[in-house]
Structure 1
Amino acid sequence: MIAYDDKHRENPAPAELLSQDPWDSNASDTTTPSWDSHQDPENPFNWPASRKWALTCLAAFTTFLAMMNGTIITVAHFEISELFSISETAFPNSYWPVTTWATGGACSALFILPLAEDFGTRPVFLSTYLIFMCFLIPQAVAQNFATLVVTRFFSGGCVAILANTVAGVIGNLWETEWDRSVPVSLFILGYMAGSSIGPVMGAAIFQSLGWRWISYMQLIWFGALFPVFYFFFYESRGSAILAQRARTKRGPEAKSLKLNYRGLIDSAKRPVILVFTEPVLFVSTLWSAFTVGTLFLFTQSVEQVFMELYGWNVSQTGFVQCSIVIGECVGWSLNFISRHLYFASASRNKETPGTPIPEARLYMAILGGVFGISGGMFTYAWTSYPDFPWIAPAISLGMVGAGSVLVVNGVSDYVVDAYSQYSGSAMGAVATGENLFSAFLPLATMSMYGRLGLQWASTLLAFVSLILSLIPTLMFIWGREVRARSPFMNEMMKDTTKKSAVEEV
């Protein structure tokens, strides 16, 4: 009998030290649960392709819908500030609902998201979904600014779980790098496009119904979709399925579980351990966080730029951000080129002949960083004049959107492939960095664009993004040495080799 449970290995691995079972059964059983065979139909890797794709698309759609919550309220900041007497003279206080939202996401991604690896994705997802809906209500009926700021913190925490659960689902369903590449790109598209289309949706609701209906409408559509998720968001975590199977076989007395707090703490601190002991994950987190944070800062300037140049109202500045979403869709389509380049690199790999070069995942990320993000920001900077038609800076926004998807997708592919068994923890660390930078960098937008001017503020961001694009170039030079220092990646490579040997036997 062949066991593919990620917690059951012949030799203890560094990664195994990070894993503790947070639930203890009342029944004693020393048998490690495992699949009946390599073809066990309950193993998510063996599910029909239609079921895998249905769950993958459902999870990606959840990411898109949930991430919209972060930016959908930004178009109403003038009215909210006026209603609650919030001053914008010395500091952009109206941005605090977004800052606390992103901060909540950073906290939950770091400490709660890894629980899905131990408890299963379904219970964590569904319970978080309901909690998230509860926090939409006080946002809609808030009678003071503090209520809005505090409830947005918890909403952001819930969104981080909902949006990033899909990363774990992908690792649970798709076994090989080839199979995972398209699902990961769908996750990234949903993640980035959801944030970018938030102001567009918010502008439409705000213009027609007012700012409180932004939360009411979310409550309506999330409530309407809950039955869909309840019946079709299946458990995909192999270890959770095996644990449930073992409890069922042992009888009713084994179904009573108690919480193992030590295991709970171990699950929560796993992303911290990984990000500070795994150089690959540390570099990936830093790069992706700077990219997303800079993108948030940059897009916060859209309202300021288009209102000053063309005299647009707030709703119009929300609608123009459709160009970012269009660009992100273009960037997603270019990921198929990235996929081809990555697997074609196997013929040039002298380190491990026949397998793709890991850093080949970053080819298109370089192009996206240089020509998409940096190029788009430079173009945006020097078309920010009233003499240019509005379509010129709008196209620049699309370039930035395309580049951001390529960069973040390259990082995510790299991380999910490297840490597939603990992709929830790894992506939790990445998401924490992205949320922290997204929370605080945009607070500088108003003063930076006010003091440097529209052109030079965007130019400064373009130069920063250009420097960040050197990171994958350095990985081409030192990537092998960096990976050699990663005990986790080395152990996973050994596991893959042993698994292939067993399958051949």
Structure 2
Amino acid sequence: MPFLDSNIVIVTWNGPHDPQDPFNWPLKKKWWATGLGLVASFICSVNGTILTVAHKSINDEFHISDKSFPYSYWPVTSWGVGASVCPLFLFPIMEDFGIRPVVLVTYFCFICFLIPVGLAPNFATLVAVRFFSGGCVPLMSDAVAGIVSNVFYGDQARSIPICLYVTVYLAATSMGPAMGSAILQFLPWRWIGYIELVWTTVLFPILFIGLPETRGPAILLARARKLRREGRKVYTVAEFDNTPLYQVLIRSIQRPLFMLCTESVVFVAALWAGFILGIIYLFTQSVEQVYGELYGWGPVETGYVQIAIVVGEILGCAFCMFTNHWYYASAVRNTETPGTPIPEARLYASIIGGLFGVTGGMFVYAWTSFSTIHWMAPTVGLTMIGFGITAVVIGNANYLVDAYSKYAASALGAVGLIENISISFLPLAATAMYTDLGLHWASSLLAFVSLLLVSTPFVVLKWGKEIRSRSPFMKEAIIDRRRESIPTAIA
């Protein structure tokens, strides 16, 4: 504990091997905390799409018509808007309290907002409560990402947990319709809310008892408070930060928006991610329309078939883990910062996933959509798309983290904003698009858009060094990497 002056002590870790430092925890404890977070993230993320299969039942009960506009999608739209807005304002505040309080408070609020789903007396209530439950989910996801970064040190150690974190979120979103179908097949639609409330509540005491605090500053703060109760003048460095709350909020909102508008890489990554996530939610509309017209399937059957997307997402996760060595092997080619992997090497997985997965899968999904062709053929296309979705999201996220370093949270915040806006509004066009363009050309249009977006990483691969030299945020990351690569002199 180094002294600030004769009266005040700044509390720090007791050396590099302090057992309370989360980086020094046993591997079993690290994975326990990460696993609990992933389970909680899965349970919450399912909420985004689980109601989509019940839209006909909800429409009948509340007298909603989709004849002129897909009004039944409004509960998902409000969910996505809540997911866009709430993290910008709440996470900077909640982050100061540590990961454990954020997870427990957010999860408890999420449970509370599930209660009115099964009891909703009208459609407006359903739309309103979905806004708040949607706002809770990205807070949970960000907290889980925080657990990974708090307990695993270095990108190599974090690569597998990050792959699992992204895959769990995507797979949960794609599993929502199937889980809703499993309930709707036997029970009225309100039981989707009741049963989701039950399984969500069951996990809460496990989280409350078993989830440790993983945020280092929060652990040090608890240590300092304990020593102050013993009469010692002990503080953490963070306690001397007197930045007003409104400035924290302004910075939290301003920087992602500024980077979105001024950083071409962030802008394109956000567009690509928004398109990718929008596709998952668009499928909650288009799959029912395609399989309904071709094979006469109802919402329950089409909910089950979306499991094919989950299978593809799991395969995409395995692909990203397998190809991690491509990134590390790029270090021998790095002339800018010798011995350090090239950030653009992270995009190899995105290119393969975007080209052969999303684009190729869309074309397969489009041109096997004939009633004379077995339903497994377009389902293979869905699996390919799921594979590509995971590869693109993981590859792009890893690239932004490497390229922007300490500003990565703001870059990812900008991407998350566009993602949630996309899932809110893009699927609203699904019914009209597949009706006016037809089943084949509607999916083909999405394939061509995907093909256009896949071309952007090639620009970054060719001129990545020049792009980084012109970005003030990336230049600072380069300086940090050079400092890390300079060996410390031994006297």
TM over 0.5: yes
- Residue 255 of structure 1, CA deviation: 11
Tell me if the contact between 2:270 and 2:415 (Cα under 8 Å) persists in the aligned partners.
Answer: yes
Say if 2:218 is the partner of 1:250. no
* Separation in 2, partners of 1:149, 1:69: 13
- 1:179-198 equivalences under 5 Å are 179-198=157-176
Instruction: Please say which of residues 265-274 and 55-64 is displaced more in the overlay.
Output: 265-274
Partner of 2:453: 468
Instruction: Tell me the TM-score normalized by structure 2.
Output: 0.91
* Separation in 1, partners of 2:403, 2:146: 13
Tell me if the contact between 1:200 and 1:318 (Cα under 8 Å) persists in the aligned partners.
Answer: yes
**Aligned with 1:347: secondary structure?**
helix
Asked which structure has the greater RCO (Cα within 8 Å, sep 6+), the reply is 1
Q: 1:422 to 1:175 in 2, by over 3 A?
A: farther
Tell me if the contact between 2:313 and 2:390 (Cα under 8 Å) persists in the aligned partners.
Answer: yes
* Separation in 2, partners of 1:46, 1:419: 26
- 1:210-221 equivalences under 5 Å are 210-221=188-199
Match of 1:147 among 99, 102, 125: 125
Partner of 2:156: 178
Say if 2:179 is the partner of 1:201. yes
- Residue 66 of structure 1, CA deviation: 1.2
Q: Which amino acid aligns with 1:153?
A: F
Partner of 2:279: 294
Tell me if the contact between 1:196 and 1:322 (Cα under 8 Å) persists in the aligned partners.
Answer: yes
Match of 1:72 among 33, 42, 50: 50
* Separation in 1, partners of 2:403, 2:88: 18
* Separation in 2, partners of 1:275, 1:122: 30
Q: Which amino acid aligns with 1:412?
A: A
Tell me if the contact between 1:164 and 1:427 (Cα under 8 Å) persists in the aligned partners.
Answer: no
Match of 2:388 among 403, 416, 424: 403
**Aligned with 1:234: secondary structure?**
coil
Q: 1:428 to 1:228 in 2, by over 3 A?
A: farther
* Separation in 1, partners of 2:111, 2:18: 37
Instruction: Tell me the TM-score normalized by structure 1.
Output: 0.89
Say if 2:345 is the partner of 1:360. yes
List per-residue Cα deviations over 1:202-258 (Å, max 9, x = no partner): 000111122111111111111110111112222222222223322332337989999
* Separation in 1, partners of 2:192, 2:243: 38
Say if 2:270 is the partner of 1:285. yes
* Separation in 2, partners of 1:502, 1:222: 49
List per-residue Cα deviations over 1:348-369 (Å, max 9, x = no partner): 2122221111011110110110
Say if 2:80 is the partner of 1:102. yes
Partner of 1:262: 246
- Residue 338 of structure 1, CA deviation: 2.3
Tell me if the contact between 1:309 and 1:384 (Cα under 8 Å) persists in the aligned partners.
Answer: yes
Q: Which amino acid aligns with 2:318?
A: S
Q: Which amino acid aligns with 1:220?
A: V
Partner of 1:12: none
Tell me if the contact between 1:64 and 1:163 (Cα under 8 Å) persists in the aligned partners.
Answer: no
Tell me if the contact between 1:86 and 1:94 (Cα under 8 Å) persists in the aligned partners.
Answer: yes
- Residue 500 of structure 1, CA deviation: 6.5
Q: 1:275 to 1:166 in 2, by over 3 A?
A: farther
Partner of 1:131: 109
Q: Which amino acid aligns with 1:74?
A: T
Partner of 2:431: 446
Say if 2:96 is the partner of 1:118. yes
Tell me if the contact between 2:49 and 2:281 (Cα under 8 Å) persists in the aligned partners.
Answer: no
Partner of 2:299: 314
List per-residue Cα deviations over 1:436-480 (Å, max 9, x = no partner): 011100000000101011011001011001111112111102222
- Residue 267 of structure 1, CA deviation: 5.8
Tell me if the contact between 1:203 and 1:316 (Cα under 8 Å) persists in the aligned partners.
Answer: yes
Partner of 1:304: 289
- Residue 415 of structure 1, CA deviation: 2.9
Match of 1:236 among 214, 224, 232: 214
Instruction: Please say which of residues 61-70 and 133-142 is displaced more in the overlay.
Output: 61-70
* Separation in 2, partners of 1:262, 1:30: 28
- Residue 382 of structure 1, CA deviation: 0.5
What residue ranges of structure 1 are gaps of 5+ in the alignment?
Answer: 3-28
List per-residue Cα deviations over 1:71-116 (Å, max 9, x = no partner): 0000000010111011111100000000100110011232223345
Q: 1:119 to 1:260 in 2, by over 3 A?
A: farther
* Separation in 2, partners of 1:365, 1:169: 25
List per-residue Cα deviations over 1:382-433 (Å, max 9, x = no partner): 1111000000011110000000000001112223445565655443332221
Say if 2:15 is the partner of 1:37. yes
* Separation in 2, partners of 1:120, 1:172: 11
Partner of 2:135: 157
Give aligned pairs, total: 480
Tell me if the contact between 2:357 and 2:386 (Cα under 8 Å) persists in the aligned partners.
Answer: yes
Q: 1:74 to 1:205 in 2, by over 3 A?
A: same
- 1:385-464 equivalences under 5 Å are 385-418=370-403, 424-464=409-449
Q: Which amino acid aligns with 2:41?
A: T
Partner of 1:20: none
Tell me if the contact between 2:92 and 2:248 (Cα under 8 Å) persists in the aligned partners.
Answer: no
**Aligned with 2:437: secondary structure?**
helix
Q: Which amino acid aligns with 1:481?
A: E
**Aligned with 1:64: secondary structure?**
helix
Tell me if the contact between 1:326 and 1:398 (Cα under 8 Å) persists in the aligned partners.
Answer: yes
What residue ranges of structure 2 are gaps of 5+ in the alignment?
Answer: none
Match of 1:48 among 1, 26, 29: 26
